[in-house]
């Protein structure tokens, strides 16, 4: 790993340790945790490299493989960046996947996916959000299943149910059911196709 990656991984471990200790300190009414607990929290917070991949609680940077995190503040991977939940930046050279996030930036070289959240989902090929509020930008397709958002697709921009803007550069700007704020492309509203904008 590069020096930058090592520094970022150490900084995330220190930050995660401090945040966890502050939470413990606040809940124990001014009784600061013992040294053993501090070391344990630091070891738990540190991103560990196993094979080519990094496994962590708070994220990490990996110039050689993937990053798998529980709740990353920052995750940057050559291959895939995968997070269960998160509040920050998630970038994968191949795919970026976040199941639950708020205020997140999810960018994948190929595909970017957010299960539930608020954020910016940007995929080189496809960008998808199942439920949330946000901006989906896909080189090919931008898809939101349910929510409020802006879908911008190189080929298609689709929203199954919700309210938002759909802009498709080459294909269909489609809204299954909801309130279209602005659509450009071939538009599906209800049961009929119509050209929204020339």
**pLDDT value for 32:** 65
**pLDDT value for 88:** 84
Task: State yes or no: pLDDT of 48 exceeds 80.
Answer: yes
9-24 pLDDT tens trace: 888 888 888 887 777 7
**pLDDT value for 198:** 38
Query: 141 pLDDT band (50/70/90 cuts)?
Result: very high
Q: How far apart are CA 57 and CA 66, in angstroms?
A: 14
**pLDDT value for 186:** 59
Q: How far apart are CA 151 and CA 135, in angstroms?
A: 6
- The tokens describing 15, both together, are 């930050």
Q: How far apart are CA 112 and CA 152, in angstroms?
A: 13
Query: Measured in whole angstroms, how far is the alpha carbon of residue 2 from the centre of its chain?
Result: 24
Share of the chain above pLDDT 70, in %: 88
Query: 190 pLDDT band (50/70/90 cuts)?
Result: very low
Q: How far apart are CA 38 and CA 34, in angstroms?
A: 7
Which pTM value belongs to this model? 0.83
Mean pLDDT taken over the chain? 86
116-140 pLDDT tens trace: 999 999 999 999 999 999 999 999 9
**pLDDT value for 108:** 96
């Amino acid at each position: 790993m590069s020096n930058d990656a090592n520094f970022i991984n150490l900084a995330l471990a220190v930050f995660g340790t401090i945040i966890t200790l502050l939470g413990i300190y606040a809940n124990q009414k001014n009784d600061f945790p013992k040294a053993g607990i501090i070391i344990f929290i630091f070891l738990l917070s540190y991103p560990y490299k196993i094979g080519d991949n990094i496994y962590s609680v708070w994220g990490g940077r990996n110039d050689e493989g993937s990053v798998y995190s529980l709740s990353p503040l920052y995750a940057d991977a050559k291959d895939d960046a995968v997070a269960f939940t998160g509040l920050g930046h998630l970038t994968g050279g191949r795919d970026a996947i976040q199941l639950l996030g708020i205020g997140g930036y999810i960018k994948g070289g190929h595909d970017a996916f957010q299960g539930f959240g608020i954020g910016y989902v940007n995929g080189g090929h496809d960008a998808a959000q199942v439920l949330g509020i946000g901006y989906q930008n896909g080189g090919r397709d931008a898809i939101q299943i349910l929510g409020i958002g802006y879908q911008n697709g190189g080929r298609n921009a689709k929203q199954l149910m919700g309210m938002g803007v759909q802009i498709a550069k080459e294909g269909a700007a489609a809204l299954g059911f909801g309130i279209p704020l602005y659509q450009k492309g071939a538009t599906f509203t209800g049961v009929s196709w119509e050209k929204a904008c020339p």
